[in-house]
Structure 1
Amino acid sequence: MPRLGPTVAALRMPRMPGADAAGAGRLRTVAGSGSNPGRLVMKVHAPVDRGPGAALVVVLHGCTQTAEEYAAAAGWLDLADRFGFVVMTPEQARPNNPNLCFNWFQPGDIRRGAGEAESIAQMIAHTVGAYDLDASRVFITGLSAGGAMTSVMLATYPELFAGGAIVAGLPFGVAASVPEAMEAMAMTAAPSAATLGAAVRGASAHAGPWPTVSVWHGQADRVVRPAAGEAVAAQWRAVHGATGPAQTARTPDGRDFLVWLAPDGEPAVELHRVPGLGHGAPVRATGPNGCGHASLYTPETGVSSSFEIALGWGLVERDAAAAPSGTRPPPRPAAMERPAPVRPGPADGVSRVINDALRAAGLLQ
C-alpha cells in the first residue's frame, strides 16, 4: 500500500504570496445556510448597486488558498462590482482537509445529499433566497481541487446550474481515495467518454437539460496534466450527446478554442487550451476587460479567463475600448444565452463559420 505522507504532500499547492492583502475584506462570512454536513464556511460578496434578480457565481478555491485569495486574484470580485452579480465562495476548513483542498476524491463528500456537495448546494439555495437572486442564472467555477469540486457539483446537482467552468480541474468520478486522486491528476489513461458520461448521468435523477461547460487548462500543467482537461470535455460531450466534430480556431491571444454542439445546434462544451500555462487560472490584470491580479496560481498571461468565462455566461460585456466603434455587444442577462451557435457549413466555409461565432463571442474583432 502506498505511503500517504508523500501523496498528501503532492496534493498541496503553495500559498499565494501577497494575496491576502489584495482582496482583504471584500467577502462577508454568512452563517445559517442549513445543516452543512460538509462543515464548510460560506462567504459572500454582494455589490450594493446590483439590480433585482441578479445572477450568482459560485467560486471554489484551490488547495492551501482561502476563498478571498482566489476570488480576488482570479478577478471574480472585480467583475461582480463592475457588472452587478453576486459571488458566493464556499471555503474549506482545516479539520476537513489540512491543506484546505475540497475533498473531490472522498466518496462521502461527492454524493448528492451528503458531505461537502450537500453543503455547497445548501449555500446556493440560501444565497439565492437571501439576496433575491435569479435561480435560473446560477453558475459555478473553480481552480484545481476547486475545479474538480466544480465537476462534482455539476454532476450531483445539475439542475442548480446554467453553466460551469472548470479550470485546471478533473472529471467527476475518477477518484475515490487519495492514491486514486494522484493517479487521476497524472491522467496517463483516461476512462472512455462513455464511462465518464455515465458517471455524471448516474449521480442524480436529473435527465436534462444539462449545464453548459467551459474547460480551461494550461498545456504546460505538471500538477494536473492537460489530459485531465481533455477528459472533462469528453465527459460533458458524452452527457450532452455532442457527438459531432469540434469547431476549432486559434484566438488572437494564442488559445486553441474548441466548441462542440449539442443535438439542438447550441454550444454545449468549450475547451480552451492555453499554451505555455502551468497550473493555474490565467489572468490579464490590466487593459480593457482586465480583472484580478497576478499571483502564483493566477499568472499574468494576457488571457483573462474569468472575464471570458463570464462573457460566455452572458454576465458581462466588453468595454467599449476593446472593440471598434459601434461594435460593442449589448448585455446578455438571460440565463442560457450564449455566443451565436457555431453551425456546421460546407467544408470550404468552416473557417468563416468559426470566425463568425468567435466574433459573436467577442473573441475576434
Structure 2
Amino acid sequence: MHRGMAEATRLTRQGHLEEATAAIQRTLGGKFFPASSPGGPGDTDVPIDVTSRLVKQTPKGPAGRHTGGRGPTLLTRGVGKPSGTTVGRAASAGVPEGGRFVERSYTNSAGTRSYKLYIPSGYTGQAVPLIVMLHGCTQNPDDFATGTRMNEIAEERTFLVAYPAQAGNANMQKCWNWFQAVDQQRGRGEPSIIAGITKQIASEYDVAEGRVYVAGMSAGGAMAAILGATYPDLYAAVGVHSGLAPGAATDLSSAFTAMRQGGPVVARRDVPDGGYREVLPTIIFHGDGDTTVHPRNGDRLLAHLEGGKNGSSPRVTTRRGRVQGGYEYTRFTYQDAEGRDLVERWSVHGLGHAWSGGSYPGSYTDPRGPDASAEMVRFFGQNHKR
C-alpha cells in the first residue's frame, strides 16, 4: 500500500497524472474493493472522483454529445441489489408527459460544455425557479436525471432543471475537476462555465429572481459547493450529496487523501479568492457507509460553512428517523437567531456512495434512503435571495 502510494505521488510530481491515477487504482483495487466480497457498500469503483485532466485547458468548440456508456470494470460489475445501490451502465432519461428535455451548449474562454435543460409542461413563460444539477463521475445528464428523478419533481412543482455535462476531453472519467486550483475560482475554469450556463438559461427563460440553486453528487457535489462559494450572487442555496468542501484539495494527490480520510478544515480565507465572504444556505447529504468519499467530508463542509458565519453560534436541532423498509437517518438543522435554516446535515446510516432515495435505473442510487431530491427542493423553496 505505502509503496504504491509513493509511486503515485512521484508520478504526480513529475506531471504524469494519468499514470498516477492508474497507480492509485492498482494500489486500492485489491485492498478496499476485493472481488470476493460483492454486494457491500464498498464494492464501488476505486476513487471515481479523482481522474487526471488530460489537457491543461478545454479546447474551444463543441464538446460533443455525451451518451454515457460503460465505465471501468468495477463500475460495470455493479454493487448488486442486496446493497440497494445501482452502479453501472448509464441510464437514459424518461421525459414526463408534456415536458421537454432539450440539449444545448455554452462556450466561454475556459471552454465548451453541453448541457440538457428540462422544461416542464406547466411552464408558459411565467417566472419559475431554476436548479442546476451536477452529475458525478462516469455519469451524464440523462443518467443523473433518471437517478435523481428531479425532472419528475420539476414537472409536479413547475421549475426548470439544467444538467451540465462534463466533457471527456476535460476529464477521462467525466468528473468535474473540483480538485484543480484553476477550477475553484470565480471567473476561471469550470465554475465560470457552469455559471455561464446558468446565466444563459436565465437570459432565455423567465427565471424567478433570487430563486436559482445548484446541487450535485460526489464530484458534482464538490463542484456545487465551489459554485455556491464563488458565485453567491448568482445562487440562493446549495445542495451537496456525498461531496467535499471547497479547498479540500488542490491537486490529484491531495484529492485522494481528502476522499479517503476527509479533507482538512479549510478556513474560508484560505481558499482561492473571489466570492467566499457570503455563506449560502446549504443542505448536505452523506451516507455513513460511503467508502468512496469519506463521510467525514460532510463534517468538513459543515465546519467550512460555520467558519464563514458572523455573530452568535447557530441553534442546532436533531431529528432521527427511518425510511419505511429502508435506512435510519439523523438530520441536524442549524438555525440563525431569527429561526432561519442555515444548514441541514443529513447522515444516512448504512448508505454507501449513492444518491439517497434515488431511482434504480440511474447509476449510483439507493432508493432505501430518504428522498434527497425532494428534501433539496423543499430546502431550496425555503431559501431565496431577498
Take 2:275 and 2:375, find their aligned partners in 1: how far apart are those partners? Answer: 31
1:251 and 2:318 matched: no
1:305 and 2:372 matched: yes
Kindly tell me: are residues 88 and 271 of structure 1, through their superposed partners in 2, closer, same or farther at Cα, counting changes over 3 Å? same
Kindly tell me: are residues 55 and 220 of structure 1, through their superposed partners in 2, closer, same or farther at Cα, counting changes over 3 Å? same
SS of match in other structure, 1:303: coil
**Mapping of residues 1-365 of structure 1, within 5 Å:** 2-3=7-8, 4=20, 5-7=22-24, 10-12=46-48, 14=75, 16-17=87-88, 19-23=90-94, 27-31=101-105, 33-35=106-108, 37-50=110-123, 52-188=126-262, 190-192=263-265, 195-199=266-270, 203-205=273-275, 207-208=277-278, 210-241=279-310, 243-244=313-314, 246-253=316-323, 254-283=328-357, 292-293=359-360, 295-314=362-381, 335=384
- Pick the structure with more strand per residue: 2
Take 1:130 and 1:233, find their aligned partners in 2: how far apart are those partners? Answer: 35
The amino acid of 1:308's aligned partner reads E
The amino acid of 2:274's aligned partner reads S
Take 1:196 and 1:279, find their aligned partners in 2: how far apart are those partners? Answer: 26
The amino acid of 2:289's aligned partner reads A
Take 2:134 and 2:286, find their aligned partners in 1: how far apart are those partners? Answer: 16
What does the per-residue CA deviation read over 1:180-214, in whole Å, with 9 as the maximum and x for residues that have no partner? 110110135x433xx333346x6324643x32000
- After TM superposition, give the deviation of residue 11 of structure 1 in Å: 3.0
- Runs of 4+ aligned residues of structure 1 deviating over 6 Å after TM superposition are none
Take 1:104 and 1:166, find their aligned partners in 2: how far apart are those partners? Answer: 13
- After TM superposition, give the deviation of residue 24 of structure 1 in Å: 7.1
Question: Paired residue for 2:33?
Answer: none
Question: Paired residue for 1:346?
Answer: none
SS of match in other structure, 1:65: coil
Question: Sequence identity of aligned pairs in percent?
Answer: 27
- After TM superposition, give the deviation of residue 81 of structure 1 in Å: 1.2
SS of match in other structure, 1:100: coil
**Which stretch of structure 1 is more off in the superposition, 273-282 or 228-237?**
228-237
Choose between structure 1 and 2 for higher RCO, CA contacts under 8 A separated by at least 6 residues: 2
Report the RMSD for the aligned CA atoms in angstroms. 2.4
SS of match in other structure, 2:170: coil
- After TM superposition, give the deviation of residue 294 of structure 1 in Å: 5.1
Structure 2-normalised TM-score? 0.73
Take 1:302 and 1:171, find their aligned partners in 2: how far apart are those partners? Answer: 23
Asked whether the equivalents of residues 90 and 140 of structure 2 are also in contact (C-alpha less than 8 Å), the reply is no
Take 2:47 and 2:322, find their aligned partners in 1: how far apart are those partners? Answer: 34
SS of match in other structure, 1:251: strand
The amino acid of 2:268's aligned partner reads G
SS of match in other structure, 2:128: coil
Take 2:346 and 2:204, find their aligned partners in 1: how far apart are those partners? Answer: 34
**Which stretch of structure 1 is more off in the superposition, 128-137 or 254-263?**
254-263
SS of match in other structure, 1:257: strand
Question: Paired residue for 2:57?
Answer: none
Structure 1-normalised TM-score? 0.77
Asked whether the equivalents of residues 170 and 229 of structure 1 are also in contact (C-alpha less than 8 Å), the reply is yes
Take 1:206 and 1:196, find their aligned partners in 2: how far apart are those partners? Answer: 10
Asked whether the equivalents of residues 351 and 369 of structure 2 are also in contact (C-alpha less than 8 Å), the reply is no
The amino acid of 2:134's aligned partner reads L
Question: Paired residue for 2:64?
Answer: none
Take 1:101 and 1:161, find their aligned partners in 2: how far apart are those partners? Answer: 22
What does the per-residue CA deviation read over 1:97-119, in whole Å, with 9 as the maximum and x for residues that have no partner? 01000000112222111111100
Asked whether the equivalents of residues 38 and 117 of structure 1 are also in contact (C-alpha less than 8 Å), the reply is no
Aligned residues: 306
Take 1:47 and 1:244, find their aligned partners in 2: how far apart are those partners? Answer: 37
**Structure 2 unmatched ranges of 5 or more:** 1-5, 9-19, 27-45, 50-74, 77-86
Take 2:348 and 2:113, find their aligned partners in 1: how far apart are those partners? Answer: 32
What does the per-residue CA deviation read over 1:209-261, in whole Å, with 9 as the maximum and x for residues that have no partner? x3200010001000001100111111112223473452111034321000112
Kindly tell me: are residues 41 and 336 of structure 1, through their superposed partners in 2, closer, same or farther at Cα, counting changes over 3 Å? same
**Structure 1 unmatched ranges of 5 or more:** 285-291, 315-331, 338-365
